[in-house]
Amino acid sequence: MSYSGLSHEPFHPLQTTQALKSYIDVLSRLVAFLLCDKGNYFISLPANIATLVSKIQQLTPPEQLPPPVIQEKFDEYTLGIVDLLIGIWTRVWDPSLGNIIGDPTMCFLALLSIKADNGWALATEITPVIAKLIFCIQSMFLFRVHIDQENTGTLRDRYQALERWHHEGEESTFHELCMLQHIASSIAYTTPSLSAFIWYNE
């Protein structure tokens, strides 16, 4: 197992309300992508993930987000979303005949990278999205480790069940995102910026 690229600093909370909203926006769009009717766009979901999607679709979302308090009793809809995200982030995805990407998170990222003019977003535009998805995976795993309303094992047991899925070097969604982030960051740093011109009226 490789631990390269991991920070040994504590997991810091976001510092501003606006930053939190931007992370919530990315995660909300991913969840909406998983739950919505995709028309002709095909993703092959395993039976347990498809069952979770169907169950959530039949529930009513809460009017307000639950407060991030560890003792809070979370509603069924919120816990269903957590189960769904943990489910898609703790498995290896294979390409299928109808979708050569396979992983729903990577499909979401690919579609999000397509601009309105059908061109691809620049590396500088997509690296923040990747960073937010990586943070969201870490946050969901942290939630699952500390908040377990079914009392399944100890905190250490729950961490060990998730440990394999949030390291670089292990095949997982987290690993794929980290690899893409390295590539996109390298492209962003080595791509010359266009010159800026200021025209003065005389």
In the chain, where are the structural domains located?
39-190
- CA Rg value for the chain: 19
Cα–Cα distance between 86 and 94 in angstroms, integer? 17
Query: What are the tokens at 173?
Result: 């969604």
Query: One digit per residue, pLDDT tens: the chain, 202 residues?
Result: 444 444 555 566 666 777 788 888 999 999 999 999 888 888 889 999 999 999 999 998 888 776 666 666 788 898 999 999 999 999 999 988 888 999 999 999 999 999 888 888 888 889 999 999 999 999 899 888 888 766 677 888 888 888 889 888 889 999 999 999 988 888 878 877 666 566 666 5
Give the amino acid at 149: Q
Q: Which DSSP state fits 191?
A: S
**Would the pTM of this model clear 0.85, i.e. be above it?**
no
Give the amino acid at 191: T
Cα–Cα distance between 84 and 136 in angstroms, integer? 13
Using CA of residue 73, residue 74, residue 79, residue 82, what is the dihedral sign? negative
